[in-house]
Amino acid sequence: MSSLKHILITGGAGFIGSHLVRHFVTKYPQYQIINLDALTYAGNLESLADVDGRDNYTFIKGDIRDENLVRAVFAEHHITHVIHAAAESHVDRSILDPLSFVKTNVLGTVNLLQVAKARWQEDYSDHVFYQISTDEVFGALGDTGHFTEQTAYDPRSPYSASKASADHFVRAWCHTYGFPALVSNCSNNYGPYQFPEKLIPLMIRNIIAEKPLPVYGQGQNVRDWLYVLDHVTAIDVVFHKGKVGETYNIGGNHELRNLDLVHMLCDQMDNALGRTSGTSRNLITFVKDRAGHDFRYAIDASKIHREFGWSPSTSFAQGLQKTITWYLENQSWVDHVISGEYQTYYQAQYATR
Ligand code: NAD
Ligand code: TYD
């Protein structure tokens, strides 16, 4: 790969995207990083205040579905590479409003593919389109087993169906047009700057406010947790070393039942807030289960370890402590992102459970 890279990162104002942008802007001053983000409820430029104004960084507010805009961005910024992270990303919202997931995750991805193909078709040798995907496309596991790169897609929520569809289009571009694409499928991320609709930041916020902690069903569902900065280093490795046409699984190798995770959060938060032990556990409220709730996700990340030596460097205990500390110290970030639309969503999602 040449060192002259003009990298379009989509969704760079979101949770994972903001860490990705910060990592690439600061680690690779020789690359130009162009962040295209529509700034939906989930996108927030406050998450990137520290890189704003850097010479190698440009932010563009815009929608990945807007063909003219995307074409202009490719032309004006001489885009050579894409890391595509923009998406509607929350399963519960996908159950309430599936069509917006089809529009952004499927149509938005195909639009990017179309424009990239048109722009790069003279020569694909120094271009890469990297699709950031999820382990949820593989469906749900029982008590045993892991998702490998060979596991057949079996999405079961509107969110995962839209991501699976997008991944299929990316691979179709590879097979049909010889398009230079990579895909990685990652397990549940957590860490600073995650929108407080997802399990960990939602629980942290409610514990601080001493509000009920809504655990779906009996809290027995299992997720495999990865600290967000470990995902970013994995993306860096796959971006630089991955073979086009290939797919890579990324995971934390740290499975937890939701209830066990919420208990850990309660205990660490009681400690951090100087509350009597057990205070926050009393806030746990079992609520109506998520429709079609996938039981268990678990990633086999041996390929990326074997081929590139990547493995997570942050233990779950360290990552959770860092995350709690960050949310306690950055409550104004939370207050800003949850104003407006989020209140309406919270009512719709939790008021009737
Ligand atoms: P997020 O919801 O925090 O951020 C998504 C970003 O995309 C936001 O900044 C939003 O403004 C932007 N966006 C949404 N629609 C857009 C559109 N039409 N045009 C331009 N920008 C738009 O999501 P996240 O958790 O950071 O996830 C990022 C990517 O990683 C997604 O593709 C997701 O499927 C994938 N992923 C997430 C996880 C996880 O645990 N969060 C795990 C594996 C994979
Ligand atoms: P979430 O963070 O939404 O991620 P995903 O559904 O993509 O895995 O949810 C993680 C787990 O936590 C999932 O099994 C659903 C559960 N959950 C709750 O029990 N209560 C909640 O309020 C939320 C948001 C999630």
Tell me the pLDDT of the chain (353 aa) as tens digits: 455 899 999 999 999 999 999 999 999 999 999 999 999 999 999 999 999 999 999 999 999 999 999 999 999 999 999 999 999 999 999 999 999 999 999 999 999 999 999 999 867 889 999 999 999 999 999 999 999 999 999 999 999 999 999 999 999 999 999 999 999 999 999 999 999 999 999 999 999 999 999 999 999 999 999 999 999 999 999 999 999 999 999 999 999 999 999 999 999 999 999 999 999 999 999 999 999 999 999 999 999 999 999 999 999 999 999 999 999 999 999 998 988 777 788 888 888 77
Give catalytic residues, as residue numbers. Answer: 135-136, 159
Residue of the CA atom closest to atom 43 of ligand 1: 134
Instruction: Tell me the Ramachandran region of residue 210: left when phi exceeds 0, alpha when psi lies from -120 to 50, beta otherwise.
Output: left
Distances (CA, A) of 352 to 12, 288, 292: 33, 9, 18
Query: 63 in ligand 1 pocket by Cβ < 6 Å?
Result: yes
Ligand 1 test: best mutation among 8, 10, 15, most atoms within 8 Å of CB? 15
C-alpha 37 to ligand 1 mean position (Å): 10
Work out which ligand 2 atom sits closest to the CA atom of 197: 24
Ligand 2 and 223: CB distance under 6 A? yes
Instruction: Kindly identify the ligand whose nearest atom is closest to the C-alpha of 205.
Output: 2
Q: Is 215 in the pocket of ligand 2 (CB under 6 A)?
A: yes
337 lines ligand 1 (CB under 6 A): no
Q: Is 64 in the pocket of ligand 1 (CB under 6 A)?
A: yes
pLDDT of residue 341: 76
- Can you spell out the DSSP letters for 131-147? EEEEGGGG--B-SS--B
> How far, in Å, CA of 168 to CA of 73, rounded?
25
What distance in angstroms lies between residue 211's CA and the mean position of ligand 1's atoms?
A: 27
81 touches 128 (CB < 8 A): yes
3-state DSSP: the chain helix, strand, coil percent, rounded to 5? 45, 15, 35
Q: Is the CB of 16 under 6 A from ligand 1?
A: yes
Q: In this predicted structure, what is the pLDDT of residue 30?
A: 97
Task: Tell the residue nearest (CA) to atom 4 of ligand 1.
Answer: 14
Can you tell me which residue has the tokens 């020569």?
Answer: 123
CA 191 / ligand 2 centre spacing (Å): 15
Q: What is the pLDDT of residue 2?
A: 53
Residue 71 is predicted with a pLDDT of 98
Cα of 285 from ligand 1 centre, angstroms: 28
CB of residue 338 inside a 6 A radius of ligand 1 = no
Question: What pLDDT score does 3 carry?
Answer: 59
